[in-house]
Amino acid sequence: MRFKPLLFSACLLQAALVLTVSLHASPAEACSPPASPRYYYTLTQSFPADGASNVPLDTVVLIQWYAWQIPGTLEDVHVDVHNLLSVTVMDSDTGELAPGQVHRSWLGRPTGETWRPDAPLLPNRRYTFVATLKQQSGPRPEAAQGPTELRGSFSTGEQLSPPLELLGGLDVALESFETDKLNCTPGMCTCDKAGREMSTRARVRVPSVQGGSAIGAYWFELRVTDNTPYRFGETNQHLEHKVLWGIWGVDSSGEPTDTAFEMPRDEAKAGYTPCFSWRVHDPAGNVREGAPVCLKERVDPPGFAFGCSVARDARGAQGTAFLVLLGAMLTVWRVRRRPVV
């Protein structure tokens, strides 16, 4: 393919426009988020169920809720259910409140807000709990039917939950696939399709899990970095990594579970060898970290059809647009697979 100076100049001009917007425009100027619909929350179910017995001493109280959209209303600041919910747990024998905290939504299954005790509860005791939503301003919509308060009780056993345990390692397979090439107008919130390109995706299997909290599923957290593993709990790692990406919400009932995602791209448009760091959570806040997996296979920049474009960053959770490699050569990718135990 011959080099075309006119096309190259056009790509450089487009790059300059994108960089000017991304470096100088305020977030509001670049893409102002619209006002969100107003919601009214009701409570639906609690775990442990009312009347449950032999509950572990480190149990959590999980409260499920439902959000009703109020037609024809908008609010500039979204009111989260976490800011409206209070949960109290009381020892029925003594009348004393059990100290604990309400944590933001548990993303496993069942989903909900979780109250966690600050210390293990007493054995062979009956506890009552009350979950209440603070009164929301404005009239209650007629369509928003459901309680704003839940009450229940449970009895503890004599044991803590068994330790959270991983039964195996992470299995990773890299493969090439064809995806849309996107042309993103600077300052806009949407991108237009501009043909097709080759990219890389990871197929990941998380291992079996046992123990931990008995409520609901487990939740795996995966992070992808370049060349060296991500270290959970340490800050400022973005200074040493060109690729730093978190994958959230891989649910598991305890059996091996598969997930797949497009590999993040190095914003410098260079290839890299990926490392996968991972750990599992349960609703009670127990965490178990697995051995990181660093592959020898290299993730290269995607191949392009003839032309120039601005593509979406693979870090979709951040919604950041970045300038893709200016080029005209289509790269042929080989399917790579390396199981790791």
Q: Which residues of the chain have pLDDT under 70?
A: 1-36, 71-73, 75-77, 107-108, 135-141, 143, 186-189, 248-249, 303-341
Question: According to the model, what pLDDT value does residue 187 have?
Answer: 64
Residue 132 CA to residue 88 CA, distance in Å, equals: 9
Residue 310 CA to residue 184 CA, distance in Å, equals: 5
Residue 341 CA to residue 323 CA, distance in Å, equals: 37
Residue 281 CA to residue 283 CA, distance in Å, equals: 7
Strands of the sheet with 52-55, listed across from one edge: 52-55, 149-156, 126-133, 85-91
Residues 6+ apart with CB under 8 A from 328: 1, 7, 304, 306, 307
Question: According to the model, what pLDDT value does residue 272 have?
Answer: 94
Cis bond upstream, residue 48 (ω within 30): yes
Question: According to the model, what pLDDT value does residue 267 have?
Answer: 74
Question: According to the model, what pLDDT value does residue 204 have?
Answer: 95
Element (H, E) at 5: helix 5-24
Express each pLDDT in 80-114 by its tens digit. 788 889 999 999 989 999 999 998 777 667 778 88
How far, in whole angstroms, is CA 54 from its chain's centroid? 33
Stated pTM of the model: 0.68
